[in-house]
Amino acid sequence: MKTLLDILGSLVVVAVLIAVLIVAGAIWYSAAKGYTTWYFRVDGQVTVDGHETTGYMHANTQKTILLLTRTDDGRAETYLVSLGDEKAILDCGKWHPTRFLPFPIGHVNPPCSMFAVEPADVADAPVSATLVRKQTSVEFTTASGKKVKAEW
């Protein structure tokens, strides 16, 4: 009986290791081929109307997209800001990233696309024409007239 349990235990351990390797391989392949982008926490400060908030930021590994999350209105609201050649800003609706953990976003149905966000979920939309990008900061005005600034 002990031998049978030892064999079953070994098979379970091997099966778990194989599953972990398959998942790790799939994540690596997806990231290497560009199907998945990882976002990491950016140290910095988010201010709204000149007042410091507990807001936070994440950027992709290429530093071409900034996810700025403001927390001044009781619920978190995240904006996707393009730091690349195009000058764009989108509201992410109800979705917001966890404060401290890195996270992946796949290229299929990203959470901040204009197709994934319901207009009713947008609390304070950004005004794209007011977006000002500098070397270590972004600043924009929202529909309610609040001035949001992120510095890193």
The pLDDT tens digits for 9-25 are 898 999 998 888 887 77
Q: What is the pLDDT of residues 51-86, one digit of tens each?
A: 999 999 999 989 999 999 999 988 899 999 999 888
Residue 30, pLDDT > 70, answer: no
Q: Do residues 25 and 49 share a domain?
A: no
Contact yes or no for 123/78 (Cβ under 8 A)? no
pTM: 0.78
Contact yes or no for 60/112 (Cβ under 8 A)? no
Work out the pLDDT band at 119, boundaries 50, 70, 90: confident
Q: Do residues 42 and 26 share a domain?
A: no
pLDDT score recorded for residue 68: 97
Q: At which residue do the structure tokens 């982008």 appear?
A: 37
Mean pLDDT of 26-30: 69
Number of folded domains in the chain? 2
Q: Do residues 23 and 90 share a domain?
A: no
pLDDT score recorded for residue 6: 84
Q: Do residues 14 and 75 share a domain?
A: no
Give residue 55's domain range: 37-151
pLDDT score recorded for residue 138: 97
Q: Residue 150 forms beta bridges with which residues? A: 46, 138
CA distances from 104 to 27, 60, 63, 143, 147 (A): 9, 9, 14, 29, 29
pLDDT score recorded for residue 34: 67
Q: Which residues contact 23 (CB under 8 A, 6 or more apart)?
A: none
Q: Do residues 2 and 75 share a domain?
A: no
